[in-house]
Amino acid sequence: MNLVTAKEMQEMDRQTIEDFGIPGMVLMENAGRGATQMLMEQFPDIRNKKTGIMAGRGNNGGDGFVIARYLSQKGINVTVYLLSEKNKVKGDAAANLELLDALGTPVIEMPDKTSFSRNIDSLMQQQLWVDAVLGTGLKSDVKGYFKEIIEFLNRSNRTVFSVDIPSGLNSDTGQPCGVCVKAHATATFAFAKVGHILYPGADYTGELEVIDIGIPPHISAKVGTVCNLITRDMASGIIQLRPSEAHKGSTGHLLVVAGSPGKTGAAAMTTISAMRAGAGLVTLGIPKSLNHVVEPMVLEAMTAPLPETKNGLLGKTAAENILKILSGKKCLAIGPGIGTSASIIKLVQKVVSASKEPVVVDADGLTCIAENINILKKTKAPVILTPHPGEMARLVGSTPDDIQKNRVSQALNFARKYNVHTVLKGARTVIAHPDGRVFINPTGNPGMASGGMGDVLTGVIAGFIAQGYSPDTAAQLGVYLHGAAADELAESKGVSGFLASDVMNALPGQISGLMK
């Protein structure tokens, strides 16, 4: 499912109007008519309510004027509160405003705080609000009078239905521009916007419906979109049926390098998760003194005891052993619980640089990479990094807050700069590929906020690569299934208390479900 940025949507609109010849008035009519239909389906008792439309003077307000006309023609009590003077409304919006005058639909000019105060009694009588104030082009913080209007809508204790996007929401990042309307539902046009899907934008958007307004497919294809939403249908299209003659030697062999004293669980879960994802064989490389601890935890996997320091951490000489063991394998997963000592930093950097097989790097491995990020520009095979926001901040020399403010651009810029597949974990995980494609994952829930979830994801992605999936499809499929397994658990157990190992064990059922 395509997701668009404000710039992409503006270009589609422009080409549709100027090159293809569909008038903007027609697009606005289609938008308003479709939004009205959604509004009435969402709120079937609207005929018994006083409905207020809070409208700006731009095209978003114009969409609101069309909605007002349709509601008026259905006999619904509707009042438009125009946050401007009528003579300042231009273009298609002005034409639709004039039609309201012809119908006798009340339009109250409310261009400033004085007029707002003067109409407060009328405003307080409205039982349902349509938010048509600000559109998708907003980038800077909302201030002054419009800020006061948004705050009024949010504290009105009334249901709010937003047109295209909740006023005050950045359509590219999902971040509120200072203040933002908290909508119960939103009708958006042509395509969902990135900001509708990312958090916290998804919470401000409420229930989302995409309205077809007539953008020709060849124009949307020509403009193109950077972002996509991973859907169940997409995941089903990626998953591969296993041949009847498959055997463990044909379903891939993965090498996992993980674990240190006190962190053997990370190594075990990464290993077992790869097998739950379908990898035929997994070998776990572990400091040799931990081998007897780990062997009973990974019954179906093999282990490779590796040279260690006196502290029980992998020693610098382990790199050569790892590269030798990697021969004949299909993928390497490295980092979970491995430690971040000086010798391990050198080990990780050497192995990642020298590997001729795809490498999935997570957890401590990411911290080691951050010490010399430029090694990523010299790797011999595809690299997949799976950072959470804190790890991503270390990789780019930023802060977690800055990462979260623009998750898509942070992940995409990094993927392009270092030629790596970047899986930026968190609510609505962002997967960015070096070729510029971005995928946002809708699965997962707050119950995943517990230890070990990242170790499971590392194993799943690496397990798919070992089976022959490309790094990009393995990342997309792995992230989707990881979240879907957690969603199944949340439904049956609630959104707290289930474990990473529960998610791991739920994976085969989710994989099977995609094949049906």
Per-residue model confidence (pLDDT) at position 147 = 98
Q: How many whole angstroms separate alpha carbon 152 and alpha carbon 256?
A: 55
pLDDT of residue 259: 97
* Tens digits of residue pLDDT in 113-144: 999 999 999 999 999 999 999 999 999 999 99
Among all chains, which residue has been given the structure tokens 């700069």? Answer: 417
Q: CA–CA separation, 4 vs 220, rounded Å? A: 10
pLDDT tens for residues 279-312? 999 999 999 999 999 999 999 999 999 999 999 9
Instruction: Please state the rounded mean pLDDT for residues 432-436.
Output: 98
Residue at token pair 């970047």:
422
Over 90: is that where the pLDDT of 315 sits? Answer: no
Give me the residue label for tokens 């972002």.
227
Tens digit of each residue's pLDDT (9 = 90 or more) over 333-382 = 999 999 999 999 999 999 999 999 999 999 999 999 999 999 999 999 99
Q: What is this structure's pTM?
A: 0.95
| pLDDT (average), residues 383-404 | 97
| pLDDT at position 99 over 90 | yes
168 neighbors 180 (Cβ within 8 angstroms)? yes
Q: Residue 465's pLDDT is what? A: 98
CA 480 to chain centre: 11
Q: Which residue has the tokens 């707050």?
A: 446
pLDDT of 200-222, one tens digit each? 999 999 999 999 999 999 999 99
CB atoms under 10 Å from CB of 132, counted, come to: 33
Confidence bin at 181 (pLDDT 50/70/90): very high
Residue 160: pLDDT band by 50, 70, 90 thresholds? very high
- Beta strands 430-432 and 421-424: pairing type? antiparallel
Tell me how far apart the alpha carbons of residues 270 and 334 are, in angstroms, rounded to a whole number. Answer: 9
* Rounded percentage of the chain residues whose pLDDT exceeds 70: 100
Residue type, 364: D
Of 458, 460, 440, 452, residue with least CA distance to 508: 460
Strand-pair partners of 332: 255, 359
Q: pLDDT class for 8, splitting at 50, 70, 90?
A: very high
Higher pLDDT, 315 or 396: 396
Q: CB under 8 Å to 347, separation ≥6 — which residues?
A: 314, 315, 316, 318, 319, 322, 368
| Domain architecture of the chain: domains with CATH | 2-217 (3.40.50.10260), 232-238+248-514 (3.40.1190.20)
* 383-to-333, 378, 434, 459 alpha-carbon distances in Å: 10, 11, 10, 14
- The CA distance from 53 to 128, in Å, is 9
Distance from CA of residue 487 to its chain's centroid? Answer: 16
Distance (Å, whole) CA 278 – CA 92 = 56
CB atoms inside a 10 Å sphere around CB 129: 23
Residue 339 belongs to what H/E stretch? Answer: none
Q: What is the mean pLDDT of residues 485-493?
A: 97
Assess whether pLDDT exceeds 90 at residue 21.
Answer: yes
What is the length of the chain? Answer: 516
Terminal Cα distance for the chain, rounded: 20
Amino acid occupying residue 150: I
pLDDT digits (tens, 9 = 90+) for 26-57: 999 999 999 999 999 999 999 999 999 999 99
3-state secondary structure of 224: coil
Tell me whether strands 192-193 and 128-132 are parallel, antiparallel or unpaired. Answer: unpaired
- What is the per-residue pLDDT for 353? 97
Distance CA 458, CA 336 (A): 8
The rounded mean pLDDT for the chain is 97
How confident is residue 516, by pLDDT bands cut at 50, 70 and 90? Answer: confident
| pLDDT for 187 beyond 90 | yes
pLDDT at 316 over 90: no
